[in-house]
Structures are given as structure tokens and as C-alpha cells.
């Protein structure tokens, strides 16, 4: 017979087996995703609003620790042993595969989207089904999923913009900090709208206090994030009754479950070694403008963004070079420069990477099959005397007698996000034209590619 317990929701009482199991679950998640966590901390501390992601993970931890978790065994869906094993290995297999495969698919968009975080969370749900049963994994699935999505750098930049104001930073940090609660299932028989109604004042108060405290953007973000993380837990606890708790199955955690859990954690930790590394090739000099400057600006994080055009022998071809330079390599990597193209979504983006010497080059080909436009986008990373730079060369080709759509100086973050999703969904090897090898080699040979080289090799390709 299945033994059932009635958990008291949101009670920080004695440190019992439920809280111990939640603590073990969080520690195993950190061990399995050690490289993801390391890169993530570097990235977030280099962004203008790190408090939102910090608060989201803190809120998720409080959510897991503050209610009685199912201990494990028997019963319906949540306690069926065979279901637990099937659910665990299916999710862990998909999660580890995502950590291994998706970063390469995203190419240089990896730093903005961080798909490894999502893969790690999927793997975590598989581990949760062994630790507490399938029902427990389904119970915490929604808050874990929403946390992995909203903490991606692209989401923060989409919401705050590349030049955020203090008010915008505070609001976004507060919203992201409460995100695990919005989709968390009610752990007691209580109308869920009560939680939403009382979370809104917490967001408003956190935003106001953070703006009044002031300071740099990162401080405003951290203050707002910490207030909503603690405040949202306290408010939800206050409005949730302790009676009429929803029953959860109690399943014993045996040695037969420990062994696969440890194997999954060790396997995921090994796959983490394959995540991309930020390799900046040392050069004797950084790329500087040697054409007609189209635009130049500095961001609040100290980045210098410059774009210039090169002479073209024909009006149907346009050459543009964009550089992003800064002292913090993580800030340089995370800035959304992926396309900067103010054009309709092309039908078939094509992303590939290749090496020339020590340099790793990312090549993207955008084809507009309706209007016969083609944009070739090649980018690489380089470093000189502790100054880091991303270089992108864009060659835009259009039909005769038609003006080429302009290329933006500032990033179109939403458009960039659309391009990335398109490149992931498209079967680039079957449907897309391979990136021209002649142009790959020419642009990878020299960081300060001359006008003549660009034009010459473009003529060969065109």
C-alpha cells in the first residue's frame, strides 16, 4: 500500500528528509552543470542587470526548499517505479544531448542564448524523477523550465535594450526574479490568482526601492532582485493556507536509484567539458576603421562599437565591417551583434564554423529567395594587450537595378533572435547554400583584411 503524507507548504521548520533531499538535488545540479554555471556567472556579472537572473535562481531554490517534497515510492503516476525510470532516462538523455549538440548549432549566438542552461534543466528533471518520483518532476517542471528560459542573456537584453535606464533595469530584474512563482503549481487547494495579486505589490516595491537607492545599473538590478526573491517567498507563504494540503506519494530512495543518479551527474559533468570556450586569438594590432565610418558609439558597459563601409566596384555589392571592442571579454561576447541587418527574415540562414590557424571563424549566409538578396556575415574574436574585439565583415549582394536594404549600426535584438531561431529550425545542410570556401579562407587569413582582398574574393565568389 502506498504511504501518503500531507505536506505543509512553505514551512521552514526542522531540517527533515524532504529538505535534505531538496538540498542534495540542488548540489547535484550544480555539480552536473559546473561549466555552465562558471560561464554563466562570468557572463551575468559582466551585464548591466545581473540581479534578475540571480533572483530567479534564488527564488527557485527557496521554492524547492520551502515545501515538503515527496520522499518517493508507489502509487499513481508519481510513485510508479517503471514510470520513474523511463521518465528519468528519457529526460536525462535529451538533456545531455542538448548540452552536447545545441551549442554548436547556435555557433556564435551561443553566448546570447545559452542553450546549455536549458539542457541542464531538462537533465535535472530526469534526476528529480529518480530522487522524488515522476510526480515530483512534473510538479517542479514548470518553474524550472521558466527559470531556464528567462535567465538567458537574450531575454534580458530584449527586455532592457542595449542602453537601459535605471527604471527599466529595476522593473526587468523584479519581473525575472519572481518568474518561478508565476507558473509554479499550487501546492495546496487555494486559488492561484491570490498568488498573482499579492506578487504585483512586491514587484512595485522592489522597483521603487531599487530606483531610490540608485547607483550603477548592476547595483539597482541586484537590490531589486534580492528584494523580490525574499519578498515573493514571504508573500506567497503568507497567503497560502496550511490546511487542505495536496497529498504526494512517499517513495523510498534506494541504492538502485543512487547509482544511476551519480552516473547521470558524472556523465553530464563530462559533457560540460565540450562547451564552447571564448578563444580570442592574439594579434599584433586590433582592427581599426580604414573606410567610410557609418557610425560609432559607446555603451554603458564600456564597449566601443564602430562600423564602416569599404569601396565597392559595383552598386549591387556593399561591404561593411563592424567591430566591438572592450576590456571585459564576457561583455564583448554577450553584446548582440549577430546580424545588425534591418531586413525581412531571410528564408534560409546558414551558420558554419571553420578554423584558419588558431582563429575560429563563424560564417553565416542569409539568403532572401524572394528578392534575390544575399548577405555573407563572417565574424571572429581577437585580443591585443588585454583588449578584446569581435570583428564582423558583411558582404551584401543584391540584384541589378535594386538598392540593397540598409545594414544597421545598432543591433536589432528582436531581428537577431528571429535569425537565430531560423538557423536552428532550418536544415542548413540540405536546404541552404554552403558558405563559399574561397571567401572563408580569404577573410580568415588576416584580421585587417584589405579592401582589395574583400573585393577580389567577392568577385571570385559572385
Asked if residue 31 has pLDDT above 60, the reply is yes
Grid cell listed for 415 = 531581428
C-beta of residue 228 within 8 angstroms of C-beta of residue 180: no
- Which pLDDT band, with edges at 50, 70 and 90, does 77 fall under? very low
CB-based contact 63:236 (threshold 8 Å): no
Percent of the chain at pLDDT > 90 equals 24
Determine the longest span between alpha carbons in the chain, in angstroms. 82
Neighbours of 158 (CB within 10 A): 16
Predicted confidence at residue 418, as pLDDT, reads 66
| Cβ atoms of residues 122 and 91 within 8 Å | yes
Return the half-sphere exposure (C-beta side, CA atoms, 13 A cut-off) of residue 326.
21
Q: Per the structure block, which three cell numbers stand in for 443? A: 577573410
- What pLDDT is attached to residue 256? 74
Distance between CA atoms of 304 and 299, rounded to whole angstroms?
Answer: 7
Q: What is the pLDDT of residue 22?
A: 77
Q: Grid coordinates standing for 449?
A: 583584411
Which H or E run includes 282?
Answer: strand 281-282
| DSSP annotation string for 8-70 | PBT---S--HHHHHHHHHHHHHHHHTHHHHHHHHHHHTTSS-THHHHHHHHHHHHHHHSB---
Q: What are phi and psi of 52, to 5 degrees?
A: -65, -50
Q: pLDDT band for 117, please (50, 70, 90 cuts).
A: very high
User: From CA 347, how far away is CA 34, in angstroms rounded?
Assistant: 37
pLDDT for position 136: 78
Dist CA 13 CA 16 (whole Å): 8
Cell, residue 242? 496550511
Return d(Cα 285, Cα 385) in angstroms, integer.
9
Which residues on adjacent β-strands are paired with residue 29?
Answer: none
Residues 145-170: tens digit of each pLDDT: 999 999 888 888 888 877 788 899 99
The owner of cell 548540489 is 27
pLDDT one-digit tens code per residue, 181-190: 888 776 554 5
Q: Is the pLDDT of residue 413 over 80?
A: no
Tell me the C-alpha distance between 381 and 366, whole Å.
21
pLDDT of residue 75: 39
Task: Let me know: does 391 contact 323? Beta carbons within 8 Å.
Answer: yes
Residue 84: Cβ within 10 Å count:
27
Q: What mean pLDDT, rounded, does the chain reach? A: 76
- What is the SS3 assignment for 269? helix
pLDDT digits (tens, 9 = 90+) for 84-101: 888 899 999 999 999 998
* Structural domain boundaries in the chain: 4-274, 281-461
Contact between 339 and 412 (Cβ < 8 Å): yes
Query: What is the pLDDT confidence band of residue 329, given thresholds at 50, 70 and 90?
Result: very high
Q: Residue 368's pLDDT is what?
A: 67
pLDDT digits (tens, 9 = 90+) for 188-228: 545 667 778 888 999 999 999 999 998 888 899 999 999 99
Identify the pLDDT of residue 186.
62
**Phi/psi of residue 354, each to 5°?**
-150, 165
Whole-number pLDDT of residue 454: 42
Q: At what angle do helices 134-150 and 81-106 cross, to 10 degrees?
A: 20
Identify which has the larger pLDDT, 306 or 105.
306
Run of H or E residues at 4: strand 4-5
Cell numbers that stand for 34 in this block = 559546473
C-alpha cell recorded at residue 221: 538590478
Lowest-confidence range among 42-56, 270-284, 324-338, 439-453?
439-453
**3-state SS class at 71:** coil
Higher pLDDT, 191 or 348: 191
Helix axes 217-239, 193-213, angle to 10 degrees: 150
170 phi and psi angles, rounded to 5 deg: -65, -45
Interstrand relation of 373-384 and 281-282 (parallel, antiparallel or unpaired): parallel
* Cell 499579492, residue located: 198
- pLDDT higher than 60, residue 408: yes
Q: How far is CA 345 from the centre of its chain?
A: 22
Cα distance between residue 208 and residue 167, in whole Å = 8
In angstroms, rounded to a whole number, what is the distance separating the alpha carbons of residues 347 and 333?
A: 26
Model confidence at 426: pLDDT above 80: no
Q: How confident is the model at residue 237 (pLDDT cuts 50, 70, 90)?
A: confident
SS3 breakdown of the chain: % helix, strand, coil, rounded to 5?
50, 15, 30
pLDDT in tens, 253-302: 566 778 888 899 999 999 999 998 888 989 888 988 888 888 888 888 88
Rounded Cα gap, residues 306 and 293, in angstroms? 8
The pLDDT, as a whole number, for residue 459 is: 37
Per-residue pLDDT at 406 = 61
Residue among 133, 180, 132 nearest 22 (CA): 132
Mean pLDDT of 125-151: 86
pLDDT at 389 over 90: yes
Amino acid at each position: 500500500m502506498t504511504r501518503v503524507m500531507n505536506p505543509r507548504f512553505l514551512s521552514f521548520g526542522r531540517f527533515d528528509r524532504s529538505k535534505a533531499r531538496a538540498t542534495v538535488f540542488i548540489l547535484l545540479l550544480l555539480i552536473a552543470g559546473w561549466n555552465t554555471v562558471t560561464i554563466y556567472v562570468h557572463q551575468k556579472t559582466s551585464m548591466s542587470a545581473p540581479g534578475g537572473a540571480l533572483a530567479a535562481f534564488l527564488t527557485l531554490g527557496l521554492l524547492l526548499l520551502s515545501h515538503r517534497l515527496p520522499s518517493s515510492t508507489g502509487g499513481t503516476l508519481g510513485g510508479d517505479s517503471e514510470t520513474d525510470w523511463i521518465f528519468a532516462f528519457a529526460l536525462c538523455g535529451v538533456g545531455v544531448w542538448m548540452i552536447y549538440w545545441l551549442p554548436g548549432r547556435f555557433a556564435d549566438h551561443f553566448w546570447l542564448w545559452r542553450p546549455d542552461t536549458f539542457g541542464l534543466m531538462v537533465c535535472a528533471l530526469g534526476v528529480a524523477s529518480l530522487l522524488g518520483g515522476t510526480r515530483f518532476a512534473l510538479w517542479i517542471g514548470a518553474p524550472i523550465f521558466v527559470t531556464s528560459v528567462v535567465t538567458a542573456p537574450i531575454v534580458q537584453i530584449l527586455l532592457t535594450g542595449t542602453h537601459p535606464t535605471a527604471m527599466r533595469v529595476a522593473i526587468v530584474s523584479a519581473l525575472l526574479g519572481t518568474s518561478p512563482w508565476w507558473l509554479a503549481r499550487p501546492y495546496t487547494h487555494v486559488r492561484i490568482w491570490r498568488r498573482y495579486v499579492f506578487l504585483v505589490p512586491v514587484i512595485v516595491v522592489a522597483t521603487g526601492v531599487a530606483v531610490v537607492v540608485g547607483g550603477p545599473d548592476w547595483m539597482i538590478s541586484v537590490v531589486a532582485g534580492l528584494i523580490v526573491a525574499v519578498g515573493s517567498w514571504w508573500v506567497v507563504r503568507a497567503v497560502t493556507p496550511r490546511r487542505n494540503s495536496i497529498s504526494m506519494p512517499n517513495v523510498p530512495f534506494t541504492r538502485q536509484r543512487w547509482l544511476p543518479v551519480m552516473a547521470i551527474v558524472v556523465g553530464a559533468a563530462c559533457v560540460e567539458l565540450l562547451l564552447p570556450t571564448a578563444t580570442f586569438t592574439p594579434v599584433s594590432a586590433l582592427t581599426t576603421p580604414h573606410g567610410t565610418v557609418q557610425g560609432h558609439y559607446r555603451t554603458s558597459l564600456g564597449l566601443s562599437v564602430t562600423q564602416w563601409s569599404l569601396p565597392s566596384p559595383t552598386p549591387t555589392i556593399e561591404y561593411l565591417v563592424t567591430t566591438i571592442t572592450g576590456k571585459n571579454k564576457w561583455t564583448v561576447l554577450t553584446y548582440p551583434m549577430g546580424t545588425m541587418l534591418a531586413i525581412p527574415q531571410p528564408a534560409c540562414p546558414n551558420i558554419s564554423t571553420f578554423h584558419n590557424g588558431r582563429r575560429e571563424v563563424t560564417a553565416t549566409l542569409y539568403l532572401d529567395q524572394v528578392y534575390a538578396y544575399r548577405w555573407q556575415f563572417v565574424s571572429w574574436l581577437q585580443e591585443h594587450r588585454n583588449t578584446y574585439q569581435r570583428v564582423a565583415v558583411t558582404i551584401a549582394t543584391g540584384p541589378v537595378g535594386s538598392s540593397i536594404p540598409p545594414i544597421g549600426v545598432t543591433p536589432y535584438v528582436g531581428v537577431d533572435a528571429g535569425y537565430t531561431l531560423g538557423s536552428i529550425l532550418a536544415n542548413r545542410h540540405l536546404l541552404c547554400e554552403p558558405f563559399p570556401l574561397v571567401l572563408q579562407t580569404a577573410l580568415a587569413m588576416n584580421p585587417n583584411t584589405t579592401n582589395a582582398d574583400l573585393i577580389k574574393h567577392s568577385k571570385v565568389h559572385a
